Structure 1
């Protein structure tokens, strides 16, 4: 069943229940109000007749009251205190007689009279009674009657109006629900079609944001997912192309020089040279595969971070002493600034990979006679490690991607600088595995600054 039909049915059922309850309540109150209006009218008419009789109750007045009753939809019966009929504008039948025989005590009868018969459904008449006096003494009663057929006719007309109104409301609501369900489900259907495309590998979907509500947020989330999947697809293709390129080059060297080295008439000195090239290229392939396996472990969380309490300045000083000869050999000054006893929990082996990778980049891309500085500061329980060089720098357009896998600023893939574009990707994941964050700032020709922030 389509969602538009489901929504329409749910809305219809809910609105129908609401309409039934509200219309039942409204009908009951309208009927009750209408019947009480008739009873109040009867009582008011009886009070009016009482006032006339208390002023003058001669035969002329009585005939006038009778005449009014004959030409009205309300009938009047006047009796004395003994129950004898003085005046009637209607033929007294058994129903009227039963009402007249209801015992009435004048002392308990209110001045404005009371209702003695209000059952309009099963009785022939509704009725009120009002007492009137003569010369300060009780003299009789004024009974007012109205045929319930008239009341039932009014209620029947009211019922017809209620039914017509209910049908009009229901029809209007159904039309409203139809367009509302279409308006609500249209973006959902669009999203469904978009997810179908995504499931088939087509990530080039564009979804408009219908509104600033949950549907808009869902549309925006699907669009973000599509963009991310499209980016991942492109990244995967570039990753496979890069891996293919990185493997093809050394394997080509290995195969080519292996064929040459197999020649029987080859000079021994040349053979050794070719075998050395084969060894270097095989080491290059081995190094690439090692980094790929390392990255795969990070992705699958199969590697372990074994943290221990480390005096960070002593720890980084030992790494500084290890890499210092390589920097001196290239004529680069390496400066370390870490003077405090800062203790922090980290994995010494894993974090050493981070530092060696970053310092190796500084070594590769810095010119002779330049300076590379490593500084550590600690404030409010936050450790900040900064590694800054005066190298070639990174273009602005490349900065957002330098932590991507196999991304290299050097598009020529120079074998002189080495590297596969995996080092910084590994660095970023290892830093995040320690609960930290790494950022980079750079200007072409000015150098690059990596900043790692760790919580103590």
Structure 2
């Protein structure tokens, strides 16, 4: 009884069996009553027919003829005079005495049903008055044994019993099939959720339709796929973190041992100490990025927006980055019209642009250029950073914002990238309610477009969005 299929099957069986039983009893009762009523109507009609003949010739010969006719039928007739004396009968008088002794005064010419209790009485009977010249001259009593009715009812009961058994068997079979059909996908879902709870997300549930069960199966399959993706992401994340932490630590430990154990010249010592410093800074940046990602995942990353004058903001960025571009022998151009304003967190927006400009420097060569453009288009601010560097292969573009994803791991390692910069940029842009788009062609350059909801600065410095 612990299986859902058994419970559903038993419940359906009890409901359907109850309905079938009620319908069978109702139909049986209706058929029996209808059949008895038909027998009474036929008996009354036969009595009225005899009465019509006797009203034309109410004599011994006709009475005997009528009695003789009924003696050959499955019904019986008793003819009495107006005082109730039996003139002739096709049935022994003692069997029907209690019927003909009943008062029959004031009976209409259409006749009257004298007895209809077929369950307890031996006969059903009717009576029809014989009227001659407006006076009642006698009565015609018609009798039919209830044995024939009981025999008919027994045959009807047998048919109903056989039909009922067949219906119950068919219902039982159909319910078994239906309950299994209903519970089969549920059992598969239970097995799937059991595997998911044990950490096995490689489940496959077939689409069983557009009903609730189909939607549930689709939801469980989607959950399993998401959990499997998260598991893979977690494993890759941990592997990447381990690798990212191990590399600078290895450099720091190795060069520290060299500086500590060997008698080095001042030049070599400064060289190794500089490497240790670079790897320490890299490790510090990595931990900082991890901390930022953790805060973003926990929705505890605070964005404190304020009204920014983008002209001054971009000028400061240009001043900070121009030396880095000059050192790489690259051109850096800025195009920001006057009067552009934006509601944003200045430190986070600076972090976004710094990351993108830093990538432009890392993945470009001497003689390349980078352009920072700001435009206002239909109340949206578009900040574009375009370079003419190495570009990104088309197959890598869909994954470029994923954490720890590198287009060229060996090259990125040489350039000091951890694969988290663009992931943080994307999260920061989304935290501002903006979007980021990328266009890139290998060996031709990359373009990042940041789109934010614009703001207008009025006289009292209020903001309309």
* TM-score, normalised with respect to structure 2: 0.84
1:180 to 132, 153, 178: 178
Bigger shift: residues 439-448 or 223-232: 439-448
Aligned ranges for residues 349-368 of structure 1 at < 5 Å? 349-365=347-363, 368=368
Aligned equivalent of 1:335: 335
- Alpha-carbon contact 1:127-1:145 (below 8 Å) kept: yes
Q: In structure 2, what is the Cα distance between the partners aligned to 1:418 and 1:295? A: 19
Identify the residue that residue 117 of structure 2 maps to in structure 1. 119
1:15 aligns to 2:16 (yes or no)? yes
How far off is 1:3 after superposition?
2.3
Q: Distance in 2 between the 1:77 and 1:240 partners?
A: 109
Query: Which residues of structure 1 form unaligned runs of 5+?
Result: none
Output the CA distance in 2 between the equivalents of 1:409 and 1:173: 64
The answer to whether residue 171 in structure 2 is matched with residue 170 in structure 1 is no
* CA root-mean-square deviation: 3.0
1:9-408 correspondence runs (5 A): 9-93=10-94, 97-98=98-99, 100-106=101-107, 109=108, 111-263=109-261, 265-306=263-304, 308=305, 310-311=306-307, 314=309, 316-325=310-319, 326=321, 329=326, 330-336=330-336, 339=339, 347-365=345-363, 368-379=368-379, 383=380, 385-391=382-388, 392-408=390-406
Higher mean displacement: 5-14 or 48-57: 48-57
Q: Give, in angstroms, the shift of residue 351 of structure 1.
A: 4.9
Cα deviations by residue, 1:148-197 (Å, 9 ceiling, x for unpaired): 23222222221222121111111111112222222333333233333333
Greater alpha carbon shift after TM alignment, 201-210 vs 352-361: 352-361
Equivalent pair of 1:76/1:142 in contact (CA under 8 Å): yes
CA contact (8 A) 1:338 1:375 kept: no
Task: Return closer, same or farther for 1:386/1:144 CA change in 2, 3 Å cut-off.
Answer: farther
Superposed CA deviations along residues 205-239 of structure 1, whole A, max 9, x for unmatched, are: 33322334333323322222222222222222221
What displacement does 1:437 show?
A: 4.6
Distance 1:103 1:59, change over 3 A: closer
In 2, distance between residues paired with 1:278 and 1:156? 107
| 1:25 CA drift (Å) | 1.9
3-state SS of paired residue (1:332) = strand
Structure 1 pair 59–365 and aligned structure 2 pair: CA distance change class (3 A): farther
Shift, 1:420, TM fit: 1.8
Distance 1:61 1:398, change over 3 A: farther
Between the two proteins, the alignment pairs up a number of residues equal to 444
Off by >6 Å, runs of 4+ in structure 1 = none
The Cα of 1:131 is off from its aligned counterpart by: 3.2
Distance 2:32 2:449 in 1: 83
CA distance, structure 2, for counterparts of residue 86 and residue 58 of structure 1: 10
Q: Is the 8 A contact 1:99 1:117 kept in 2?
A: no
In 2 relative to 1, CA 408–129 (structure 1 residues): closer, same or farther, beyond 3 Å?
farther
Native 8 Å contact 1:78 1:143 kept in 2: yes
